[in-house]
Amino acid sequence: MKCHSYTSLFFTFIMTFGLAACSSTPSHVIVAPDLMTIPAIYHQGKHAQLNVVDMRTANHIVQVLRKGEAATLLSAQARLEDIIKVNLTEHWKKQSLQIQNNASNTINVSIEKAVISVEQQTMEYKVQTEIVVKVTVNNGEQTLTTTFNNRGNSDGPLQADIAVLERNFNQRLAKLLSQILANEKIAKFLM
């Protein structure tokens, strides 16, 4: 009888410790889009100045909402506009577009929305992810504005896993950046 109560106590301790470990929330999310393929567009002899601005009113990427509690907000480990600028610069250079200040072509990338909204309930969660980026290209004569969107919904049992949300966000962001790099209207508009 006494052995059974120690076993029960031990099991309760292990379960409590395990649940506490599972519920720890990271302090930030790692935004690192991995663009696997570079679209076969070449900008030989073309130059552009690239500006990226974050127009969002709040800088968090993840918001976890629980009824009756304050929202848990997680920002990216680095500024989102810097991450996007580095990725676009790297891949446009691979397409032979020279990124430099004071170029006749100006590419302005505006981050309108980038958020993972989690509605966490006791035994389930629902996720809405939305990334909206507006690209405005001025070639010295005309202006072209194109908006790129990537949205998605998911749900699951128990608690949302931040690592999974992070991976999905990175995949969505990589797809959106690839769409910008592959956009033929932008490519033709650059002089």
Per-residue model confidence as pLDDT tens digits over 148-183: 999 999 998 998 999 999 999 999 999 999 999 999
Judge whether 79 and 134 are in contact, CB under 8 Å. no
- How much is the average pLDDT of 6-17? 46
Per-residue pLDDT band for 134 (boundaries 50, 70, 90) equals very high
**Number of structural domains, the chain?**
1
CATH number (domain holding residue 90): 3.40.50.10610
Per-residue pLDDT band for 18 (boundaries 50, 70, 90) equals very low
Q: How many CA atoms lie within 13 A of 35 on its CB side?
A: 23
Does 14 have pLDDT greater than 80? no
Range of the domain at 38: 2-189
pLDDT at 11: 46
Strand-strand pairing, 98-99 and 72-76: unpaired
Specify the pTM: 0.83
Number of neighbouring beta carbons within 10 Å of residue 12:
10
Can you say whether the dihedral through the CA atoms of 95, 101, 102, 105 is positive or negative? Answer: positive
Per-residue pLDDT of 29-55, as tens digits, reads 999 999 887 777 888 889 999 999 999
